[in-house]
Every structure is written in structure tokens, then in C-alpha cells.
Structure 1
Amino acid sequence: MTTTLPATTAPDERIAELRQEIDACDAELIRLVQRRLAVSREIGALRSASGGTRLSLAREQQVLARFQAELGQDGATLGMMLLRQGRGRL
């Protein structure tokens, strides 16, 4: 899809606007990752406290499958990074 620029918008101005949008997206992604990590750690602590294992491999496979289905192989890599961050080293 090609976006046409209004006659008054110079490419450099539009690039600056788009970079600001990327920066806002990055800030939101960082906030969401931090939230996800906190939730994941709480789940692990609750599982351990109740006598279970700290993590569920079946659940991790579901997460990886979803990321790969939506984002391809790089998505699976991203999903694995998030899982590692949330559970820590095994």
C-alpha cells in the first residue's frame, strides 16, 4: 500500500513524524514486556508455592506456537526471548 503525502508535507517532516510514532510504539512495547514479565514471575511463584513446577512446558509451547503463527520464525524467537525473561534461567 502506497501512502501519498499531502503537497505541503516534505518527506523529511513525514519521516520525523513516523519516527516519533515508532518511538511511541517502542515505549509501549517496553511497558507491555515489563508487565508480562511481572505477571509471568508471579505465576511461577504461585506454582512453586503450591508445590507445582515453576513452569509449564505445554503452556510455553502454546505461547511459541501463537507467536510463530502470527509473526513467523522471528516471532517464535521473540516468544522464546519473552519466555526466558519471564522464567529466568533453567
Structure 2
Amino acid sequence: MSTALPSSALPSSALPSSALPADERIAELRTEIDACDAEIIRLVQRRLSVSSEIGQLRSAAGGTRLSLSREQQVLARFQDALGPEGATLGLMLLRHGRGRL
């Protein structure tokens, strides 16, 4: 005699994600996206802080405000990892950290 409950009697958290109704799975995935977005925002803020400190140190040492060769390395890394739109994302981050040229 089986004592297993029918899947409809189990809480949704006990069901495999593939067994959830689409709207519940979408809600779960959106929660995951929200968590990713929060982490991305935290990392961008950290990146801006580090970039600002580098700019201050370069200026204090009599250097230029930015390094074009370094920016090209950053853009290439983003493009290699994420494709053409990755370069756009990298450029947005660079602009946000140093402003438009």
C-alpha cells in the first residue's frame, strides 16, 4: 500500500520546477532575476567606487584621468565574454565610472 501523496497535495516548493504551473515557475524565475539584479547593482556600485579611487590616485600622481589602452582591454573582455552587446555594456560601465569623453 502506497502512502505517497498525489502531487496536487504537495506544497509547490516540494514539486520539481518542471511540475509547477507556468505562472508559479515564472514567479520563481522573476524572484531569481530580482536577486541577480540586486547583485549586479551591488557590483556596479563597487566597480564605480574602485574606478573613482583609481582616478583620484592617477590625478594625484600627475597622470591622465583615464587610460585608453586599459579601456580597450575592458571592452575586449566584455565583448569576448558577451558578444557585441557585451562591448556596449562595458562602454556603459566605463562611461558611468569616468563620464563621457
TM-score for both structures, normalised by structure 2 = 0.81
**Which runs of 5 or more residues in structure 1 are unaligned?**
none
CA distance in 2, matches of 1:73, 1:89: 20
1:69 and 2:80 are equivalent in the alignment: yes
Root mean square deviation of aligned Cα = 1.0
How far does the alpha carbon of each residue in 1:21-68 deviate from its partner, in whole angstroms, 9 at most, with x for none? 000000110110011011001101100000111111010000000000
Higher RCO (Cα < 8 Å, 6 or more apart): 1
Match of 2:57 in 1: 46
1:89 Cα deviation (Å)? 2.9
May I ask how many residue pairs the two structures share in their alignment?
85
Match of 1:80 in 2: 91
**Percent sequence identity over aligned pairs:** 78
Task: Report runs of 4+ in structure 1 exceeding 6 Å deviation.
Answer: none
**Which runs of 5 or more residues in structure 2 are unaligned?**
1-16
Match of 1:5 in 2: 18
Match of 1:14 in 2: 25
